[in-house]
Structure 1
Amino acid sequence: MSFFKKMFGSEQKQRAVTQVKDLQINDIVVFTDSFALPSLLRDQQFQVSAVNCYEYEHRTQTEWVLIGQSDVELFLSLEVDDKTYLKLSLKVEHHDVETLFNLDAFSEVFDEPGQAFLTRQSDNDHTQGWSGEEYKQQAFAQVGFFHRKDNRVTQLSQFEGSEAGEQFELYTLYDQDETRGIDIEVWEDGDTDVFLTLFRPTTDIVDMYPGS
């Protein structure tokens, strides 16, 4: 009996992953096969490659970077309202935006007071299943800081400088049901990143397990 205790008692119990908020680097997430999801997500598994953080005046938001087949990269965070939803973000390029929207209308997102209204022209293969028909602007030039660190285990710096994160301005639009959105991040050097976002129930992730 004591021999078996020595053999098995010294082994570390494998970490269980039961909630999205506990995901760590190398962990695996598996999405449902529901046709409500874009084909990029449907019945696919992704590995967490990095954990970052967005810091705003009154909240912080953890972001998990997901890598799938063919090095497809997505961004996952949790949106907490009355319920908790998955926020899934897909980065799109200029030519994608040009296909989706009239560029003159899109430029109105950056005009004060931030009341742009966008109507989708058409999708391409990259954006299929991610875009909504119409969007109304909700946020204009909201200041935030991006940290390449996990705010769950590392305290964010309260001081200016390199530890304060990378400053940006956020512009946000939602569709009528607020199940799809657009996030636009404008950085201090003028670079602009555009993301199509989906808000989905947490049950869309059907399995999670620790990576190697």
Structure 2
Amino acid sequence: MSFFKSLFAKKQALPTRSLNHPGELQVGDIFSFGDSFALPKAMRKQQLEVSEINTVEFKHEHYAQVVGRGISPQPVYISFPKNPQKFVKYSLLLTRQDVGNLFDLEAFSDIFEAPGNACLTPITFEHPYAEMVAAQYLQQDFMTTGYFHREDYRDGTPPQFNEESHGRQFEFYSLAGDQEQRSIDLFIFENGDTDVYLSFLRPANEITELWIKGE
């Protein structure tokens, strides 16, 4: 009888994919940060679910932006632009109040003045995101054109020149500090919407655990 039971027993499904690096995350997967004090509280020991995967496209590069959401209302953005150390970019979206708390707004407005040589110094390091803030920022990008796609193009090329689905065009401004390990990234879209990210580059192992959806 046991022979027949084993013969007709339902076989367990083999894993359909592996997940060994944050760059392999898919929507619905879970990832967790470690307890490193190099991370702000919005990330430290947080467990998040991937809610969407977008693509940021520039003329000579495009990369994925993974959006993770957890218990906190603040989503965490992780992206994978090219850099010599192959670090991951971890980002938090700043509110206007955050920007005003961290920087002098008149000095911040210099970012948008040609030719784009702004130098920005924080007015305080007493902020929940202080671990991500550089002592000084120098402007790197001024009015650089790019496209934001609500699609995952890690295995393909974004349709930049397809008028029906080229993504949302934006002007990109950025400043970098601490040997380009920390940055402020600004995306200004055609309708005037502006996203300001506080970002830093850190090793991929700041994310200590990865789980495939449903496992």
TM-score, with structure 2 as normaliser: 0.90
Note the C-alpha offset of 1:153: 5.0
Partner residue of 2:18? 16
Partner residue of 2:175? 173
82, 86, 89: which one pairs with 1:87? 89
Residues 31 and 211 in structure 2, CA contact (< 8 A), matched pair in contact too: yes
Partner residue of 1:205? 207
Residues 41 and 128 in structure 2, CA contact (< 8 A), matched pair in contact too: no
For residues 53-77 of structure 1, the C-alpha deviation after alignment (integer angstroms, 9 at most, x for no partner) is 0111001111101102133211111
Distance of 1:5 and 1:174 partners within structure 2: 63
191, 194, 202: which one pairs with 1:192? 194
Partner residue of 1:48? 50
SS in structure 2 opposite 1:61? Answer: strand
Give the direction of change, closer, same or farther, for the CA distance of 1:10–1:43 in structure 2 (3 Å limit).
closer
Distance of 1:138 and 1:154 partners within structure 2: 28
Partner residue of 1:137? 139
Distance of 2:28 and 2:61 partners within structure 1: 26
Residues 136 and 176 in structure 1, CA contact (< 8 A), matched pair in contact too: no
Structure 1 unaligned spans of 5+? none
Residues 43 and 76 in structure 2, CA contact (< 8 A), matched pair in contact too: no
Deviates more, 1:87-96 or 1:2-11: 2-11
Residues 41 and 129 in structure 2, CA contact (< 8 A), matched pair in contact too: no
Identity of aligned residues (%): 34
Give the direction of change, closer, same or farther, for the CA distance of 1:158–1:122 in structure 2 (3 Å limit).
closer
RMSD of equivalent CA atoms: 2.0
Give the direction of change, closer, same or farther, for the CA distance of 1:2–1:79 in structure 2 (3 Å limit).
farther
Residues 78 and 86 in structure 1, CA contact (< 8 A), matched pair in contact too: yes
Distance of 1:5 and 1:180 partners within structure 2: 59
Note the C-alpha offset of 1:82: 2.2
Structure 2 unaligned spans of 5+? none
Residues 99 and 124 in structure 1, CA contact (< 8 A), matched pair in contact too: no
Residues 160 and 167 in structure 2, CA contact (< 8 A), matched pair in contact too: no
Distance of 2:157 and 2:5 partners within structure 1: 44
Residues 42 and 72 in structure 2, CA contact (< 8 A), matched pair in contact too: no
Note the C-alpha offset of 1:45: 1.2
Residues 84-163 of structure 1 mapped to structure 2, 5 A cutoff: 84-123=86-125, 125-153=127-155, 155-163=157-165
Give the count of matched residue pairs.
212
Partner residue of 2:28? 26
Residues 99 and 123 in structure 1, CA contact (< 8 A), matched pair in contact too: no
Partner residue of 1:75? 77
Note the C-alpha offset of 1:200: 0.5
Distance of 1:16 and 1:160 partners within structure 2: 33
